[in-house]
């Protein structure tokens, strides 16, 4: 039996072993003999700025314990769920295809190859090292490779981001994802931190190791090979690429949220899809030290060496167009940079990125406004059009990838739009202008109202020197590719849409978990190859 004791609060400079000792003390007082202590979670409680705490959850193993004793100790029985894998007996004609090599595609591939299934992986972008060179070249020259960039390539968009692993879903696959990340080189603290992250500097090497590991099972990974058509073929699917057409017993569709040409191809082929909510907005940058002091107060001066750089999570809701909409912070990157994540030559897209140490000068996050299907025309692809129009408006400001930017003082209070203590990190650079040139009026007004409310929650959030860089448009997919309870498409019975691009995940961990669960569904249908 494994017990967990939560909410053990200690000063940040108290060694974590004290949390184990406190848990053991409570168990002994309740007459429970326990062993094998393990800290399974650490979070920061900064609600009282003069009394900041690190809050621990600790697990212990014991032979047996009565319910009343467990309750007396303030403990709970920890019910750990494992992945259930059942292999089917369906006859095979071909291999399994995986389209896309981001988190969903990677973990679907891992599950399949480790369980004896032959896999061919298609990725429109390049391997990590080549992709990194293309991104470096773009940032210095402004010449975008539309197939190898921040969005497309090995590891997906998450490779060149902060590598945040926070998720709200409760799925056994999520714990498995974190453990496998550690296997491939992620810091082990992601297993216990309440807000785990990896950092793009570590992620690049991890993706290389995962790529080589999957290849060691005989899997073929075809980089720089976009799939241009998918159609039903008997009981399987046929995929078309520049190299011709090939048959597969099943295909995992894990293209990510920016594969607009794939969405259009599926829509043209009559694959059932629907519009789904997404968000658009901009990136806000503050000095990280200002956010640290705003969130931690004087406690940060005392405990700076023991505390992570501060993060925030802000939201505000109001009714627009007859429905409730949200304005919220998204993808907060302490000590990070704002980056260009464009995939089209006439559109600007921003995103956030940081290294593992998060030791950059600025903090940044998206300030995003929810866009609902009811805000858009009836066409399924109207969300893509909405995003693209904003991206193109931003590009037209300078006819280059220099992004539109405005100080918060100018945006909120019509002050002079002049940079001061916060220097934008976005590369290749910014052009100071009014963001009204980029956004629809209602989006512009929502951001302004949201910032006003956020300043009530974090003092100084709307300081004049903070900088807004626009636009952030790829928060999630604007479409959902409909699938049934067995995870296959409502239209093509051997096509398995999954991850962010298909509209079933929102972030690295949830996308990877969806890839795992999709692979499990495929395995339950077919015999393995070995």
In the CATH scheme, what is the homologous superfamily, with its name and number, of domain 95-274+477-523?
FAD/NAD(P)-binding domain (3.50.50.60)
pLDDT in tens, 98-141: 999 999 999 999 999 999 999 999 999 999 999 999 999 998 88
Average pLDDT of the residues of the chain: 95
Q: Which residue has the tokens 């190791």?
A: 209
CB of 144 within 8 A of CB of 342?
yes
pLDDT given at position 81 = 82
* Alpha carbon distance 234, 494 (integer Å): 10
pLDDT in tens, 433-449: 999 999 999 999 999 99
- Give the pLDDT band (50/70/90) at residue 244: very high
Where are the CATH 3.50.50.60 domain residues in the chain?
95-274+477-523
- Give the pLDDT band (50/70/90) at residue 310: very high
The helix (H) or strand (E) run that includes residue 506 is none
Q: How many Cα atoms occupy the beta-carbon half-sphere of 96 within 13 Å?
A: 31
pLDDT given at position 169 = 80
pLDDT given at position 63 = 86
CATH of domain 2-77: 3.30.70.2700
Where are the CATH 3.30.70.2700 domain residues in the chain?
2-77
Count CB-CB contacts under 10 A for residue 274.
Answer: 11
Would you call 384 helix, strand, or coil by DSSP? helix
142 DSSP assignment:
-
- Give the pLDDT band (50/70/90) at residue 352: very high
Q: Is 264 exposed, middle or buried (0-12, 13-18, 19+ CB in 10 A)?
A: middle
Q: What's the CA angle centered on 414, arms 413 and 420, to 5 degrees?
A: 85
**Structure token digits, residue 64:** 């047996």
* Alpha carbon distance 342, 475 (integer Å): 13
pLDDT given at position 19 = 97
pLDDT given at position 27 = 96
């Amino acid at each position: 039996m494994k017990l967990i004791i939560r909410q053990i609060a200690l000063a940040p400079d108290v060694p974590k072993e004290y949390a184990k000792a406190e848990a053991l003390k409570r168990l002994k007082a309740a007459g429970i003999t326990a062993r094998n202590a393990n800290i399974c979670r650490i979070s920061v409680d900064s609600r009282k700025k003069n009394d900041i705490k690190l809050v621990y959850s600790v697990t212990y193993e014991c032979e047996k314990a009565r319910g009343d004793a467990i309750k007396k100790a303030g403990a709970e029985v920890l019910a750990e769920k494992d992945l259930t894998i059942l292999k089917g007996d369906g006859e095979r004609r071909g291999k399994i295809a995986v389209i896309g090599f981001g988190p969903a595609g990677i973990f679907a591939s891992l599950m399949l190859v480790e369980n004896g299934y032959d896999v061919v992986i298609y990725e429109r972008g390049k391997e990590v090292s080549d992709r990194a060179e293309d991104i470096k070249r773009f940032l210095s020259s402004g010449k975008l490779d539309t197939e190898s960039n921040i969005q497309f390539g090995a590891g997906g968009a998450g490779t060149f981001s902060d590598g945040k692993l926070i998720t709200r879903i409760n799925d056994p696959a999520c714990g498995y994802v974190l453990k496998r990340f550690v296997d491939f080189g992620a810091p082990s603290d992601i297993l216990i931190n309440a807000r785990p992250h990896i950092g793009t500097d570590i992620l690049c090497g991890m993706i290389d190791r995962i790529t080589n590991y999957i290849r060691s099972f005989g899997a073929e990974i075809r980089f720089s090979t976009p799939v241009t058509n998918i159609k039903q073929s008997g009981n399987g699917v046929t995929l078309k690429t520049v190299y011709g057409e090939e048959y597969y017993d099943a295909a995992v569709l894990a293209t990510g949220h920016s594969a607009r040409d794939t969405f259009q191809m599926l829509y043209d082929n009559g694959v059932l899809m629907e519009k789904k909510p997404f968000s658009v907005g901009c990136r806000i940058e503050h000095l990280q030290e200002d956010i640290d002091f705003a969130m931690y107060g004087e406690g940060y001066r005392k405990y700076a060496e023991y505390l992570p750089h501060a993060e925030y999570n802000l939201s505000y809701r109001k009714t627009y167009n007859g429905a409730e909409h949200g304005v919220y912070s998204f993808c907060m990157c302490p000590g990070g940079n704002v980056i260009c994540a464009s995939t089209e030559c006439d559109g600007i897209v921003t995103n956030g990125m940081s290294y593992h140490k998060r030791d950059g000068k600025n903090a940044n996050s998206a300030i995003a406004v929810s866009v609902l299907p009811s805000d858009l025309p009836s066409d399924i692809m109207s969300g893509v059009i909405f995003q693209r129009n904003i991206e193109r408006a931003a590009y037209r400001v300078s006819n280059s990838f220099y992004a539109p930017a405005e100080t918060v003082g100018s945006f909120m209070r019509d002050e002079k739009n002049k940079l001061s203590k916060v220097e934008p990190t976005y590369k290749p650079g910014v052009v100071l202008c009014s963001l009204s040139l980029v956004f629809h009026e209602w989006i512009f007004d929502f951001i302004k109202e949201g910032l006003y409310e956020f300043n009530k929650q974090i003092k100084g959030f709307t300081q004049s020197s903070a900088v807004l860089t626009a636009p952030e448009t790829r928060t999630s997919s604007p479409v959902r590719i409909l699938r049934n309870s067995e995870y296959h498409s409502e239209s093509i019975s051997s096509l398995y849409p999954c991850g962010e691009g298909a509209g079933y995940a929102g972030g690295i961990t949830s996308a990877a978990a969806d890839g795992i669960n999709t692979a499990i569904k495929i395995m339950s249908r077919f015999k393995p190859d070995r």
